[in-house]
Amino acid sequence: MSGRAATSFSKKTHAIWVVQIARMLEARGHPSDPVLRKLGLDPKRLQQAEAEIDFAQEVDMFEAAAIHLGDPCFGLHFGASADPLDAGLIGYVAASAATLGDAFRMIEKYIGVSSEGVREKLEIQDQLAVLSEEIVDPSARQYQQTVEFSLALITNFSRFVAQNRLTPEWTEFRHARRDHVDEFERFFGAPVHFGRRRNAIALNRSLLELPCHSADERLLGILKGYCEQILKQRRQELDLRRQVEHLVARLLPTGSVRIMSIAKELGMSERTLARRLQALETSFGQIVDEVRRKLAFRYLEDSNARTSQIAYMLGYSEPSAFNHAFRRWTGVTPTQYKRGRR
């Protein structure tokens, strides 16, 4: 069993793209609920405003959509056709910037308000401006479709705000791809390379000076302030939540996960911990359930452990309790889920 599975938790991201993919599946005759549940997602919860999910679940949803729709270039097609402003706050703050270069700097600085799973970086190299994207969530494994979506969406966004059919100098991806490369080059309008050292788009440096047609200095100031507040609050919230998550994960195999013991470890009273978690719109019981769910998926995917062993590692008194919980999360038993992954 890897140590990472017991201590690392997926980063969060807004659910907007997963919701849109689910609607796309439905529109094309593919029921989305079974797909969502197989990924550990609750369809009803996704309908809540500002719903957040694990970044790794979003990554898996992109890959699942490519398979269900029979489209090996799903990420490219979705990114090319999506409304850039559907990205939410990060889309609006970038679109309100004065120039395309400023818009990229807003994305680089504030991407965390939308997703914790990626990091954007803008670098000036001689006459080139290179915007690269790095997946920073260790839980995300095969993320080909997600990265292809992201770079297509950034190009789509650039053309939208600049009102210019601009073309990169080149685009490159870390993953390998041998087919449909010509389709990527038609969209980007430039050479596209796969199997390189990073995921990046290179533009002529002069394009950074293109004015954004949606520039709004006053709105930008308001949105930047909002982004700063969100990031500050998120850092504070994640600090406590992750501390609780890691303590819960550590104690689960002992079968004695109690809010009293967690509060003691954190140097606060049980009542104070409960109150602070309530302020984060969660509870100790919800966190325990979520940690168990995340670890259950990893244990089922990354090991050959029996269901009874996994139940023990998750702190259940008997396998039937684990089976019941897993069916509540996904609609299937652990055994059925593992068979479906083969």
Give the span between the Cα atoms of 289 and 329, in whole angstroms.
10
pLDDT, one tens digit per residue, over 92-147 is 999 999 999 999 999 999 999 999 899 999 999 899 999 999 999 877 878 999 99
Contact 162, 213 (CB under 8 A): yes
Instruction: Give pLDDT, residue 9.
Output: 60
Contact 79, 150 (CB under 8 A): yes
Instruction: Give pLDDT, residue 239.
Output: 75
Helix axes 74-81, 55-68, angle to 10 degrees: 110
The pLDDT confidence band at residue 10, using thresholds 50, 70 and 90, is low
Contact 212, 100 (CB under 8 A): yes
Residue 240 has pLDDT above 50, yes or no: yes
Whole-number percent of the chain with pLDDT over 90: 63
pLDDT, one tens digit per residue, over 156-215 is 999 999 999 999 999 999 999 999 999 999 999 999 999 999 999 999 999 999 999 999
DSSP state letter for 210 = P
pLDDT, one tens digit per residue, over 38-85 is 898 889 889 887 788 889 999 999 999 999 999 999 999 999 999 999
How many Cβ atoms sit within 10 Å of the Cβ of residue 14? 20
Residue 11 has pLDDT above 70, yes or no: yes
Contact 314, 293 (CB under 8 A): no
Residue bearing the bigger pLDDT, 11 or 95: 95
Whole-number percent of the chain with pLDDT over 70: 95
> Considering only CA atoms, which of 188, 195, 146, 151 is closest in space to residue 170?
188
The structural domains of the chain, with segments of one domain joined by +, span 3-215, 231-341
> Considering only CA atoms, which of 261, 258, 252, 262 is closest in space to residue 314?
252
pLDDT, one tens digit per residue, over 282-306 is 899 999 998 998 888 888 877 678 8
Query: Domain 231-341 class?
Result: mainly alpha
β 199-204/12-14 pair status: unpaired
Least confident piece of the model among 148-152, 279-283, 320-324: 279-283
Q: Which fold has domain 3-215?
A: H-NOX domain (3.90.1520)
Contact 310, 322 (CB under 8 A): yes
> Considering only CA atoms, which of 64, 89, 98 is closest in space to residue 208?
98
The two structure tokens encoding residue 77: 């097609």
Q: Which amino acid, one-letter code, is at 66?
A: A
Residue 5 has pLDDT above 50, yes or no: no
Give the span between the Cα atoms of 53 and 126, in whole angstroms.
39
Average pLDDT over the chain reads 90
Q: How far is CA 132 from CA 173, 197, 213, 241, 272, in A?
A: 10, 11, 24, 30, 42
Give the span between the Cα atoms of 281 and 50, in whole angstroms.
13
pTM for the model:
0.75
Q: Which ranges of the chain would DSSP assign to H, the alpha helix?
A: 3-7, 16-27, 33-38, 43-46, 55-68, 74-81, 89-95, 100-110, 144-162, 181-188, 217-251, 259-265, 270-279, 284-302, 307-313, 319-330, 334-341
Residue 342 has pLDDT above 70, yes or no: no
The stretch 13-26 carries a mean pLDDT of: 96
Give the 3-state secondary structure of residue 304.
Answer: coil
Residue 6 has pLDDT above 60, yes or no: no
Residue bearing the bigger pLDDT, 175 or 312: 175
Give the span between the Cα atoms of 209 and 240, in whole angstroms.
42
Give the span between the Cα atoms of 52 and 58, in whole angstroms.
10
